[in-house]
Structure 1
Amino acid sequence: MSDLPTELVPLSAEQHDIVELTRAFAREEIRPRARAVDEADIETPWDLWRKAAKVGITGFMLPEEFGGGGFTDVFTQVLVQEELCVGDLGIGNLLCSNGFFADPVLELGGEEQKREWLTPLTGPDTPMTSLATTEPGAGSDAASIVTTAQLMTWRAAKCLDAGLNATAEAAMAKLTASETAAYCTWAAVQTLGGWGYSREFPVEQWMRDAKLEEIEEGTSDIMRLVISRSL
């Protein structure tokens, strides 16, 4: 029995370390501040950003040659963002924003452009960046559903890391994951009744956060269109 695997996908020592780091950061730093940040609405949690930068979280996606953490594979990036977003979805996404900004520079920029724009994004005093994009033209067991959504996301990430066309897999993963999150948080509010709707408890915020995932970076309707075109 001791020879049985203890994890769905074996992780390297480096992956274990970054997962443990971000899990602890989410638990000790993000979750205690999540409600206050949500209530403040338009205030940016700069203190959390600076703490994350000091331990290497904000630059973990960037290549080592520019001073980053070197976790350029999509699978590890997925693992890290999962851990951060357990603390809070909005803050977790915010702390990874430099990686999203860097991606088009890495793909399309020249060497001088990469060094000019990416090197400042590493280290303890990194600025916060953002990426503006647009699109041209454009009732089951909850635990089982969550596991399925996670595995689909991991599969899409592995396909991308292998250099495969993962457009359909990524669309399926986003659709399933976002609608699973929406269903689970809706069910949590329903289960708690009036308490679930109250701002004294975090589930109403989780439901709002989950709804955003059905809208941003490609709505669920667009994901269904992408999937249908791949069939």
Structure 2
Amino acid sequence: MADILLREEDLKFASTMVHTLNTILLTSTELFQLRNQLKDLKTPESQSLFCCLYRSWCHNPVTTVSLCFLTQNYRHAYDLIQKFGDLEVTVDFLTEVDKLVQLIECPIFTYLRLQLLDVKNNPYLIKALYGLLMLLPQSSAFQLLSHRLQCVPNPELLQTEDVLKAAPRSQNADSLSIDYAELLQHFERVQKKHLEVRQQRSGRGDPLDRRVVL
């Protein structure tokens, strides 16, 4: 389905479908094995699957970030969130960020929350979460994520002799064959198309195109 959506010309429909498929991917018990396959990207098959999903998921910026969280691509998630400053911020967009924060508190992302204990090896995870925090208005989701980040420990308090002796490990070293720069460019191209469509719809006075005035 992700491959088919790459050829979908109705971008609003594609964005809605991607959001629905992402919700199923993250919450369905039947897809537990698939989530585990995507979590580490240790095999060529899992890397190929990630790239296929990513290209379709780009129809929806927030679901793209959630896919990166699922696959532990935290640096790329941070890079994507930096791009959000160039996107059009709508009510629907902020609602999806709100829902993503709620998902981060769910059992599916237990491993992600535990990785917040490993501050030194997961700096981009923390920066990405702070990026989401800065996007949100001061709502209940803002308070929820803010409280979570307040629980991130001081890395100096966690240092042990073993940690000091250990060499720093690179995150997701098995996925080095993935061209993240090219994927980021693909994300920008897809979002540019969405912006053009929204501008055309605005010119026609589409009442469904709701915006936030910042």
TM-score, length-scaled by structure 1: 0.32
Q: Which has the higher contact order (CA 8 A, sep 6+)?
A: 2
TM-score, length-scaled by structure 2: 0.34
